[in-house]
Amino acid sequence: MKITETFVSLQGEGLRQGMPCMFVRLAGCNLHCAWCDTEYALGNAIGVETTAEEIMEAAIASGVSYVCITGGEPLLQKEELAPLIAAMHEAGVVVEIETNGTIPFIELRDYASICMDVKCPSSGEMSDLSLLSSLRETDTVKFVIGDEADYLYMVEVLAANPKLRAPVCITPVYGTDTKWLVETIIAEKLPVRFQLQLHKVVNIP
Protein backbone atom coordinates (compact mmCIF):
# COMPACT_ATOMS: atom_id res chain seq x y z
CA MET A 1 0.00 0.00 0.00
CA LYS A 2 1.09 3.58 -0.53
CA ILE A 3 2.23 5.38 2.63
CA THR A 4 2.96 9.09 2.95
CA GLU A 5 4.58 8.87 6.38
CA THR A 6 4.72 7.07 9.72
CA PHE A 7 5.61 8.77 12.98
CA VAL A 8 5.07 8.57 16.72
CA SER A 9 3.38 11.45 18.51
CA LEU A 10 0.42 12.11 20.81
CA GLN A 11 -3.09 11.60 19.52
CA GLY A 12 -4.44 15.11 19.14
CA GLU A 13 -8.15 14.36 18.86
CA GLY A 14 -10.89 11.91 19.71
CA LEU A 15 -11.49 9.63 22.67
CA ARG A 16 -7.77 8.78 22.97
CA GLN A 17 -6.59 12.39 22.91
CA GLY A 18 -3.21 12.76 24.60
CA MET A 19 -2.18 9.11 24.27
CA PRO A 20 1.14 8.11 22.66
CA CYS A 21 0.33 6.86 19.19
CA MET A 22 2.00 5.66 16.02
CA PHE A 23 0.42 7.30 12.99
CA VAL A 24 0.35 5.57 9.62
CA ARG A 25 -0.67 8.09 6.97
CA LEU A 26 -1.84 6.47 3.75
CA ALA A 27 -1.58 8.37 0.47
CA GLY A 28 -4.52 9.50 -1.63
CA CYS A 29 -7.93 10.98 -0.92
CA ASN A 30 -11.28 11.10 -2.73
CA LEU A 31 -12.16 14.51 -1.23
CA HIS A 32 -10.46 17.91 -1.07
CA CYS A 33 -11.69 19.77 2.00
CA ALA A 34 -11.30 23.54 1.97
CA TRP A 35 -9.38 23.56 5.27
CA CYS A 36 -7.40 20.33 4.79
CA ASP A 37 -4.20 20.37 6.86
CA THR A 38 -2.58 17.36 5.17
CA GLU A 39 -2.70 18.31 1.49
CA TYR A 40 0.65 16.62 0.98
CA ALA A 41 -1.16 13.29 1.40
CA LEU A 42 -3.97 13.88 -1.10
CA GLY A 43 -2.53 12.80 -4.44
CA ASN A 44 -3.01 9.20 -5.54
CA ALA A 45 0.39 9.23 -7.26
CA ILE A 46 2.34 10.12 -4.14
CA GLY A 47 3.47 7.90 -1.33
CA VAL A 48 5.96 5.09 -0.94
CA GLU A 49 4.86 1.55 -1.70
CA THR A 50 5.13 -0.28 1.63
CA THR A 51 4.21 -3.82 2.58
CA ALA A 52 1.99 -4.74 5.50
CA GLU A 53 4.95 -6.59 6.99
CA GLU A 54 7.11 -3.46 6.91
CA ILE A 55 4.41 -1.39 8.60
CA MET A 56 3.88 -4.10 11.21
CA GLU A 57 7.61 -4.20 11.96
CA ALA A 58 7.68 -0.41 12.35
CA ALA A 59 4.70 -0.52 14.71
CA ILE A 60 6.32 -3.16 16.91
CA ALA A 61 9.67 -1.33 16.86
CA SER A 62 7.97 1.89 17.97
CA GLY A 63 7.04 0.30 21.29
CA VAL A 64 3.64 2.01 21.13
CA SER A 65 0.54 -0.15 21.51
CA TYR A 66 -1.87 2.25 19.79
CA VAL A 67 -1.82 2.83 16.02
CA CYS A 68 -3.90 5.35 14.12
CA ILE A 69 -4.43 4.71 10.41
CA THR A 70 -5.13 8.03 8.72
CA GLY A 71 -4.72 9.86 5.43
CA GLY A 72 -5.75 11.15 3.02
CA GLU A 73 -8.52 8.60 3.01
CA PRO A 74 -7.13 5.24 4.17
CA LEU A 75 -10.15 3.22 3.07
CA LEU A 76 -9.24 3.84 -0.57
CA GLN A 77 -6.70 1.07 0.11
CA LYS A 78 -9.11 -1.03 2.15
CA GLU A 79 -8.27 -4.38 0.56
CA GLU A 80 -4.59 -4.05 1.45
CA LEU A 81 -5.36 -2.45 4.80
CA ALA A 82 -7.61 -5.26 6.07
CA PRO A 83 -4.90 -7.94 6.61
CA LEU A 84 -2.61 -5.35 8.23
CA ILE A 85 -5.09 -4.29 10.88
CA ALA A 86 -6.08 -7.92 11.46
CA ALA A 87 -2.42 -8.74 12.18
CA MET A 88 -2.09 -5.73 14.46
CA HIS A 89 -5.21 -6.74 16.35
CA GLU A 90 -3.87 -10.28 16.73
CA ALA A 91 -0.63 -8.83 18.15
CA GLY A 92 -2.55 -6.85 20.77
CA VAL A 93 -2.18 -3.46 19.11
CA VAL A 94 -5.12 -1.07 19.48
CA VAL A 95 -6.00 0.22 16.00
CA GLU A 96 -8.10 3.24 15.05
CA ILE A 97 -9.00 4.21 11.49
CA GLU A 98 -9.78 7.83 10.65
CA THR A 99 -12.13 8.10 7.67
CA ASN A 100 -14.08 10.82 5.89
CA GLY A 101 -17.23 8.71 5.89
CA THR A 102 -17.57 8.11 2.17
CA ILE A 103 -16.53 4.44 2.02
CA PRO A 104 -18.20 1.57 3.96
CA PHE A 105 -16.08 0.20 6.80
CA ILE A 106 -18.25 -2.42 8.49
CA GLU A 107 -15.98 -5.33 7.49
CA LEU A 108 -13.05 -3.73 9.36
CA ARG A 109 -14.79 -3.27 12.70
CA ASP A 110 -13.61 -6.58 14.17
CA TYR A 111 -10.05 -5.27 14.16
CA ALA A 112 -10.26 -1.49 14.62
CA SER A 113 -12.32 1.34 16.00
CA ILE A 114 -13.57 3.92 13.52
CA CYS A 115 -13.40 7.70 13.75
CA MET A 116 -15.82 9.07 11.15
CA ASP A 117 -15.15 12.70 10.29
CA VAL A 118 -18.52 14.02 9.11
CA LYS A 119 -17.90 16.74 6.55
CA CYS A 120 -19.68 20.02 7.28
CA PRO A 121 -20.65 22.68 4.67
CA SER A 122 -17.52 24.82 5.09
CA SER A 123 -15.38 21.87 3.99
CA GLY A 124 -16.99 21.93 0.56
CA GLU A 125 -17.45 18.16 0.76
CA MET A 126 -20.05 15.69 2.05
CA SER A 127 -19.95 12.37 3.91
CA ASP A 128 -22.31 9.44 3.44
CA LEU A 129 -24.50 9.89 6.52
CA SER A 130 -26.00 6.41 6.13
CA LEU A 131 -22.68 5.08 7.48
CA LEU A 132 -23.42 6.59 10.91
CA SER A 133 -25.65 3.61 11.67
CA SER A 134 -22.62 1.30 11.37
CA LEU A 135 -20.80 2.99 14.26
CA ARG A 136 -20.61 1.46 17.74
CA GLU A 137 -20.03 2.81 21.24
CA THR A 138 -16.30 2.22 20.76
CA ASP A 139 -16.20 4.36 17.62
CA THR A 140 -16.24 8.15 17.30
CA VAL A 141 -18.04 10.77 15.25
CA LYS A 142 -16.10 13.98 14.62
CA PHE A 143 -17.39 17.30 13.33
CA VAL A 144 -14.93 20.03 12.36
CA ILE A 145 -16.79 23.31 12.85
CA GLY A 146 -15.76 26.38 10.88
CA ASP A 147 -18.80 28.62 11.31
CA GLU A 148 -22.40 28.77 12.48
CA ALA A 149 -23.66 27.00 9.36
CA ASP A 150 -21.45 24.04 10.24
CA TYR A 151 -22.78 24.02 13.78
CA LEU A 152 -26.40 24.06 12.61
CA TYR A 153 -25.62 21.26 10.16
CA MET A 154 -24.16 19.17 12.98
CA VAL A 155 -27.25 19.74 15.13
CA GLU A 156 -29.42 18.69 12.19
CA VAL A 157 -27.40 15.51 11.61
CA LEU A 158 -27.54 14.54 15.28
CA ALA A 159 -31.29 15.19 15.44
CA ALA A 160 -31.81 12.99 12.37
CA ASN A 161 -29.82 10.15 13.98
CA PRO A 162 -31.25 9.74 17.50
CA LYS A 163 -30.01 6.14 17.72
CA LEU A 164 -26.39 7.11 17.08
CA ARG A 165 -24.28 5.05 19.47
CA ALA A 166 -20.84 6.56 18.95
CA PRO A 167 -19.72 9.50 21.10
CA VAL A 168 -19.48 12.84 19.30
CA CYS A 169 -16.41 15.10 19.31
CA ILE A 170 -16.48 18.69 18.06
CA THR A 171 -13.29 20.37 16.87
CA PRO A 172 -13.15 23.97 15.63
CA VAL A 173 -11.19 24.69 12.47
CA TYR A 174 -7.72 25.56 13.74
CA GLY A 175 -7.17 29.27 14.20
CA THR A 176 -10.85 30.25 14.28
CA ASP A 177 -12.68 31.82 17.22
CA THR A 178 -13.88 29.17 19.67
CA LYS A 179 -15.66 31.14 22.39
CA TRP A 180 -19.01 31.28 20.60
CA LEU A 181 -18.88 27.54 19.95
CA VAL A 182 -18.13 26.68 23.58
CA GLU A 183 -20.84 29.03 24.84
CA THR A 184 -23.39 27.57 22.41
CA ILE A 185 -22.59 23.98 23.37
CA ILE A 186 -23.03 24.86 27.05
CA ALA A 187 -26.21 26.85 26.48
CA GLU A 188 -27.83 24.13 24.38
CA LYS A 189 -26.50 21.32 26.60
CA LEU A 190 -25.36 19.25 23.66
CA PRO A 191 -24.15 15.72 24.53
CA VAL A 192 -20.83 16.25 22.76
CA ARG A 193 -17.16 16.57 23.62
CA PHE A 194 -15.46 19.85 22.64
CA GLN A 195 -11.80 19.48 21.72
CA LEU A 196 -8.95 21.59 20.46
CA GLN A 197 -6.38 19.87 18.25
CA LEU A 198 -3.87 19.04 20.97
CA HIS A 199 -0.97 18.39 18.63
CA LYS A 200 -1.29 21.88 17.18
CA VAL A 201 -1.63 23.50 20.60
CA VAL A 202 1.63 21.95 21.83
CA ASN A 203 3.31 22.17 18.40
CA ILE A 204 4.06 18.54 17.65
CA PRO A 205 3.39 16.47 14.48
Which tens digit of pLDDT belongs to each residue from 1-56? 999 999 999 999 999 999 999 999 999 999 999 989 888 888 766 789 999 999 99
Q: What gap in Å lies between CA 22 and CA 123, rounded to an integer?
A: 27
Domains of the chain: 2-201 (3.20.20.70)
Q: Is 25 annotated as a binding residue?
A: yes
Q: Is 180 annotated as a binding residue?
A: no
Give this prediction's pTM: 0.94
Q: Is 68 annotated as a binding residue?
A: no
pLDDT for 150: 97
3-state DSSP call for residue 65?
A: coil
Whether the CB-CB separation of 113 and 140 falls below 8 Å is answered with yes
Which comes out higher in pLDDT, residue 101 or 204?
Answer: 101
The pLDDT-based confidence of 194 (bands split at 50, 70, 90) is very high
Q: Is 70 annotated as a binding residue?
A: yes
3-state DSSP call for residue 24?
A: strand
DSSP for 25-53 reads: EES--S---TT-S-GGG--TT-SEE--HH
Q: Is 29 annotated as a binding residue?
A: yes
Q: Is 35 annotated as a binding residue?
A: yes
Q: Is 99 annotated as a binding residue?
A: no
CA atoms within 13 A on the CB side of 138: 9
